[in-house]
Structure 1
């Protein structure tokens, strides 16, 4: 089972099964009228990658959870260790080859289970 935990500060974690295990993505999220209007991977503890955010956005899109005007911001590490901020376009993310991203990683959470949102 895949769960989304959203705390009162609108920080989210997408995780599988139980707390204390690695998360698929973490960051900040804004929801308006049941749709995600803003999302990023800014989370100091988990330090999720831009690829993790991209896969998460694709997952949310496939489940109809995104607003048409969603704002997507990715944070990653620059060459000198600085933080690089990038604004992402939903249409670009949707058309990204998931398999190409997955080939970079040996183990990823199983997203083929049902989605539960815990608020």
Structure 2
């Protein structure tokens, strides 16, 4: 019994590129070549100010509340990334990984809006970055 294999024209292009020494990274520029999916990493750094806080214990309570609520609601990674010894300043780092730039942008924007709506601390500064790999 003869079996016919239907190979995509991309199969031959990929074999040529791999045999020629090109890396996968060169082939995945933009939204991907030949159906490969690119990896998109989004990072968000938020600085908060706790105006009425007077101790590190109070700061830890607010940080724990923010981190737990974000983890319960969104599929992102979140951690305190700086100002650990300052009791009126919080720096949170949030990251998300996916294959669609718009989805990552939307997810991190929703996290920022959610943290702002909690009214636990005043947002002082934000840094937002999306990297395509």
TM-score band w.r.t. shorter chain = 0.3 to 0.5
Query: TM-score w.r.t. structure 2 length?
Result: 0.31
Larger Rg: 2
Name the structure where strand makes up a greater proportion of residues: 1
Structure richer in helix, relative to its length: 2
TM-score (norm 1): 0.34
More contact order relative to length (CA 8 Å, sep ≥ 6)? 2
